Chains A and B, each alone.
Chain A
Amino acid sequence: NAGVMQNPRHLVRRRGQEARLRCSPMKGHSHVYWYRQLPEEGLKFMVYLQKENIIDESGMPKERFSAEFPKEGPSILRIQQVVRGDSAAYFCASSQPGQSEQYFGPGTRLTVT
């Protein structure tokens, strides 16, 4: 059973470009969470999605950031007009309905130059 998949693993963008991060949850998992990790920090919650629904986006910056989890395909975290402060590791986690544990992907390291 494949784990949570994230791609790309590393992404370099220039200031002002768009970044798209993808997450495929574990088989059978319909709940997806996105977290951001700044250097020397713990992970901070961004958004929680179920298929075709955003359940909780209380951790998402109000501008430039959006997330989706379509009926078919991976969950996407989109960052428009990236700035240097967006440089971080972005982790996706998934869980089954009714399950408290969240299982993490390997993360995408975004570098904004």
Chain B
Amino acid sequence: AQTVTQSQPEMSVQEAETVTLSCTYDTSESDYYLFWYKQPPSRQMILVIRQEAYKQQNATENRFSVNFQKAAKSFSLKISDSQLGDAAMYFCAYKMNYGGSQGNLIFGKGTKLSVKP
């Protein structure tokens, strides 16, 4: 069975600095997707970034980028120029590629990110 592990329960970063959140996963599949979701205090789950396993290029969305190491089964999230609004729980998630929308997300337990002014 696939599993997702986030080894950092809590992280802290100074405003305007850079922080990296770690995620590792276990799977025997070669074709899958990886995601980072943000859950602020409102509890709304917000999609931050998506990576397709068969793409070697790391995904980037504005200040958010990932370091995808397929062989190591590692998928870290880097947040540059941290802002107060980035404070939230961050969840790493895995989804097998059955073709399109089939398949559920498997989540890690999350990392709570605090941003200090």
Contact = CB atoms under 8 A, between A and B. Distances in A.
A99 B101 contact: yes
B100 A100 contact: yes
Contacts of A85: none
Given A42-B91, A101-B50, A56 B104 contact: yes
B16 interface: no
Nearest to A29: B101
Q: Chain B contact residues: over half helix, strand or loop, or mixed?
A: loop
Given A100-B50, A100-B97, A101-B50, A45 B44 contact: no
A56 B102 CA distance: 9
B42 interface: yes
A103 B35 CA distance: 12
Interface size class on chain A is: 20 to 34
Interface of A: 31, 33, 35, 40-45, 48, 55-56, 59, 89, 91, 93, 95-104, 106-107, 109
The 8 closest A-B pairs by CB, nearest first: A42-B107, A104-B45, A98-B100, A45-B104, A95-B101, A31-B101, A43-B107, A42-B109
29 contacts: A31-B101, A33-B104, A33-B105, A40-B109, A41-B109, A42-B107, A43-B105, A45-B105, A45-B106, A48-B103, A56-B104, A59-B104, A93-B45, A95-B101, A98-B101, A100-B50, A100-B97, A100-B100, A100-B101, A101-B35, A102-B105, A103-B47, A104-B37, A104-B46, A104-B47, A106-B42, A107-B43, A107-B44, A109-B43
